[in-house]
Amino acid sequence: MNAGIKAQILAGPPVAAALLADAAARASRLPALPHLVIVRVGDDPASVSYVRGKARKAGEVGLRNTVHALPEATSQAELLALIDTLNRDDDVNGILVQLPLPAQIAEAAVLHAIDPRKDVDGFHPLNVGELWAGRPALTPCTPAGIMYLLAHHGVQVAGARAVIVGRSHLVGRPLAALLLNADATVTVAHSRTCDLGAVTREADILIAAAGCPGLITPEMVKPGATVIDVGINRVVSIEGKGHLVGDVHPDVADVAGMLTPVPGGVGPMTVAQLLANTVRAAELQHAVRSDVALPETGVVGELAR
């Protein structure tokens, strides 16, 4: 235990604000403000809320943004045709298709169709491959945002033992690649891991991204460890009120050295990184069109070396 000393809380909003300020400054130096296009299919309430929030934040930073809200019955061919049009439009710098998609549309086909240079979600196989090869790439927003958060707070990654609980393609796997590129020793644990607590207790940096409320308890955490809670789980109290909780039990604050809250931790970093990715995509596209050599900037470039 930490002798009654609570963990330092790593709040996301101020760090996200710093990332957004940097993105806005870089965007202002481009010949035209970067343009993000968000495509939403159907009216899933969560998707509507997420898209509205992303578009609002893009406007606050000064990025141009367009939202295509397509009907629930949109066919895969119709969506792919729209993506093809956006791919060929030089005025569009970033394309994001909000997930999940209706059952008639294959997610993989859509993610593969987006031009890798405009893939601000970082899900295209070419970007995934570049990431695992240790080369600069557009990187999934939550993992890149976590790396920025760690760097902002001076958390030593090189040489650290990092354990990720969760092996999703959205967080666990790309985060493992980023941590490896930053010279951490990385273990990816999951639902089939034997004696999970024994594994997590080895971590200097512990990332919980399993989607299981309260999975990480105090006895599973090395005293003084940095704990990043990616989980966002809606639970209902005895009184019938719904609220959000993470994958980390609140009592972990009595053991950890640093801890992200839920909500208000990793979430703001994800949106900020999306907009930073959009600026980065615009910088790269401008460099190609003008034959200008562009130095590496931002989390991805720094950590890939």
User: What CA–CA distance (Å, rounded) separates 305 from 300?
Assistant: 9
Interior CA angle at 290 toward 284 and 295, to 5°? 45
CA atoms within 13 A on the CB side of 178: 30
Structure token pair of residue 302: 């720094």
Q: Tokens standing for 282?
A: 């615009």
Query: Catalytic residue numbers?
Result: 54, 98, 121
Neighbours of 91 (CB within 10 A): 10
C-alpha 165/C-alpha 244 separation (Å) is: 19
| Residues near 275 by beta carbon (within 8 Å), at least 6 away in sequence | 20, 23, 36, 57, 58, 61, 63
**In angstroms, rounded to a whole number, what is the distance separating the alpha carbons of residues 10 and 266?**
9
Of the candidates 142, 138, 145, the residue with the CA atom closest to the CA atom of residue 280: 138
C-alpha to C-alpha distances, 161 to 68, 114, 192, 201, 261, nearest whole angstrom? 43, 35, 20, 10, 22
> How many whole angstroms separate alpha carbon 259 and alpha carbon 228?
6
Rg (CA), the chain: 20
